[in-house]
Structure 1
């Protein structure tokens, strides 16, 4: 198809342009998801504890939040094409630094650089679709966009597993360097030089930048996410002071928004974000991305440490599940105009998610085969059109072009915080649950169970079995609680009014 805003673009170039938009988004998706998928290997490579590893995720999300805050100002001044090109270069540099990291501190700094480059690419790509295409032109564009974004996310686990098994953990980030540079070439070849939307948006004056907002927001996001993750290490009743860290993060972000409220044209206009439909949508977005970050860490850990599958098998399975999500999204793109705005589909998505979690929790046992696990993984993969795309259709339907940029930038700030919080919570929750399960399993063991005094080899073998069982017990408990939570979210989706009744 041709676009009225880009009449010189052939239909083939329009497709490759949308493919490039999606691929740029995929760079961000891959950078976030691979920390969960290959987290065990990366942690071992830099000798990081769960707390140290959490910093590498929160630093990425904090800098991504900052760049999303700056997105509108930079893009209006330099164009979204320049913003995307610069972001891809910085993302490639950050990925290279991650591959060269030898300590948790180095990895944390490198991930911050990576987040500053890749963290704004999703929002920039999605906003650019809004600017170049009229409402009736947009649905077909998401076919190329989904192939680019979800396609990269699908193939990366398998590719990373193959290379890590044959080389080293650094290949996880080497792949991301190559990916960012490859997408950079595609962007340079397909993006329009400059998009001039109606209303003269590019002529907006650039005010002096208020860096206090950036510092407050970035620092607040990092403190908040790390504080929420650390809560799993403590009993609140015995250590109430542990709540001070996330509270300090909330206060810092609140101070940033107070500044924005007084000077809305500096960075992000909070007055454009106060609609009930948008706020409810952001809540559902936060829930989805929290669960997504948690799932991307929990499932690879369960498959490898709990069930004993190798990284290569895990990568293949995750690639197949992600490919199924891509197919579901492509199908959804063709019928989206007929089903957007239906709360019951969101509820259906979370019911499916709850069923997948419950199925997996009931099958969390030693010696289980992959064929028993696959139905639960595939069912979860089918939820993406319902719990993500459907929410998008309801959240942003009423925004004008200028307000859409503010709304989508803030949505991606929430996405980064929620995803990192979910991944960090999964890491720390598993450690907490494994410690409890390990203690209870040891308490039940007697010399009679051991068959007398065991040898050193038997003790080593039993220690490995104990670790496996602890992982299985902790994972099963977490999956069960998450299934209940998803069922509650499904119910909430049906009863919460978004602005007007939508059935």
Structure 2
């Protein structure tokens, strides 16, 4: 297309390209959420302890976080299509290695390689979409792409639960092989490397500025350390752990050194100067917030239903899958609405809805039916398409055309960081909150409390009526009430988590006013 010199479609339909490049990200996001559900099964299969098994997730997240911010740099240096196909191939082959791994060590190596391949997929795909569609049509393109990012985390737990309950954990990796192969064939045949993008690479190599090894190193140190801290903080007793403490120091030092270094580089590995564009900065911050709430609740809800309501992995996953189906239906409307209304107004309305939905979720109790739990999830996630699509659309407003690779890398980094920070912080809130609430409830469980003594007496009488002796009934009644106190404390801690998430969303909505309007009838040449 003459007016889109950076388009990857060539003479073909851009919608065909959008569909093709969405395949690999769906595979990668789906695989991540499936792995979360199958963690215990994988640990048993390779003889790992429960504590060691968490490294199966951590190694992937660490290498994924390291590659994400530099993927734009690598795509420019190696060629966008070549880099993308390399990432798909690496992820697919590593999936086979994970499925065949006979030991924990080899599984961790393959998971790390998977993370390297997965880290480069989403940024390049979004860069391709931003270059292949003019600004006024990007919202609908990102709506199609958004189906992969928003629905895969919802479908993953249900599919993972079903696979692990009925087959073997190996299949959560083996199912990637045909999907990866299909993606490689379709990308090779249909996705073009336009002359303008080839010229970017020639100019990059001709400048001979060399690889920004210092930027790579500082980014890897900061983000790798941060990811390990987030994953191990609750498990290893927070800053009492020497590992967590030292990695926190490395993380802070990495970020403090990285930002001024990259600002001085002609070709930075991580182009932090993009945060100087206010729409891009606002989009990144809101994307962080959206991922924070989406992924933390994606973990909290099945955790609640499995631990306190007795759901198996498949049933717990289905509560999320129903919400995912809801997002599939509303995603096209989000794309259409974003073409008619300025993105920031769509985002504002969706943030207010999301905040209210999270506050509504504080009404949880252990007597809820499956459908009640599922509807709570539907109300939470129905606004997600009206966040993801306009956020991604607004992120590229005002950016230079040759910065789409770097911009896509950074906004996906913010999404991943939001997910990691959200899961870590909300897990800490639940664990700490349960302890606080249990202590308070125990304080009220005294002989001087008439409600407590009456409840205890009635429980003892019921147990004696069931045939227990006086002493056995007394002990069983105390144990039963202690279990009820513990369960109630845990429920209250989940209510705290949903309340904090809702308040955070409602407090931070003014960020939308940093965003610029999408120019009407803008051409592709200036990205707005």
Q: TM-score, normalised by structure 2?
A: 0.80
- Aligned: 1:352 with 2:353: yes
- Aligned: 1:28 with 2:28: yes
Distance 1:254 1:169, change over 3 A: same
Aligned residue for 2:166?
166
Distance 1:211 1:27, change over 3 A: farther
Aligned residue for 1:303?
305
What is the correspondence of 1:174-253 to structure 2 with a 5 Å cutoff? 174-192=174-192, 194-197=193-196, 200-206=199-205, 207-228=209-230, 245-253=247-255
Aligned residue for 2:450?
none
Distance 1:293 1:338, change over 3 A: same
Which of 480, 484, 488 does residue 507 from structure 2 map onto? 488
Structure 1 CA distance, aligned partners of 2:148 and 2:286? 24
Aligned residue for 1:361?
362
Structure 1 CA distance, aligned partners of 2:104 and 2:440? 31
**1:109, distance to aligned residue in structure 2 (A):** 4.0
**1:167, distance to aligned residue in structure 2 (A):** 2.2
Distance 1:345 1:101, change over 3 A: same
**1:43, distance to aligned residue in structure 2 (A):** 6.6
In 2, are the aligned partners of 1:36 and 1:300 still within 8 Å (CA)?
Answer: no
Which of 339, 342, 346 does residue 340 from structure 1 map onto? 342
Structure 1: give runs of 5+ residues left out of the alignment: none
Structure 2 CA distance, aligned partners of 1:22 and 1:415? 17
In 2, are the aligned partners of 1:17 and 1:190 still within 8 Å (CA)?
Answer: yes
Structure 1 CA distance, aligned partners of 2:30 and 2:20? 15
- Aligned: 1:278 with 2:297: no
Distance 1:85 1:460, change over 3 A: farther
The CA RMSD over aligned residues, in Å, is 3.9
Distance 1:170 1:428, change over 3 A: farther
Structure 2 CA distance, aligned partners of 1:244 and 1:213? 21
- Aligned: 1:406 with 2:425: no
Aligned residue for 1:370?
370
SS at match of 1:268: coil
Query: CA-to-partner distance for each residue in 1:108-164, whole Å, 9 max, x for gaps?
Result: 544322110111211100101223333355445345434555565554333322211
In 1, are the aligned partners of 2:10 and 2:194 still within 8 Å (CA)?
Answer: no
Distance 1:259 1:221, change over 3 A: same
Structure 2 CA distance, aligned partners of 1:462 and 1:36? 33
SS at match of 2:399: coil
Most deviating of 401-410 and 255-264: 255-264
Most deviating of 261-270 and 315-324: 261-270
Structure 2 CA distance, aligned partners of 1:160 and 1:238? 34
SS at match of 1:367: coil
Structure 2 CA distance, aligned partners of 1:456 and 1:175? 51
Distance 1:111 1:167, change over 3 A: same
Aligned residue for 1:113?
113
**1:384, distance to aligned residue in structure 2 (A):** 1.0
Structure 1 CA distance, aligned partners of 2:63 and 2:211? 17
**1:376, distance to aligned residue in structure 2 (A):** 1.7
Query: CA-to-partner distance for each residue in 1:266-325, whole Å, 9 max, x for gaps?
Result: 423333332233222222121111222212211121122222222222222322211211
Query: CA-to-partner distance for each residue in 1:27-73, whole Å, 9 max, x for gaps?
Result: 332244335555666677675556x5665444333322332333234
What is the correspondence of 1:62-73 to structure 2 with a 5 Å cutoff? 62-73=62-73
Aligned residue for 1:259?
261
Aligned residue for 1:475?
494
Instruction: Count residues with an aligned counterpart.
Output: 494
Q: TM-score, normalised by structure 1?
A: 0.83
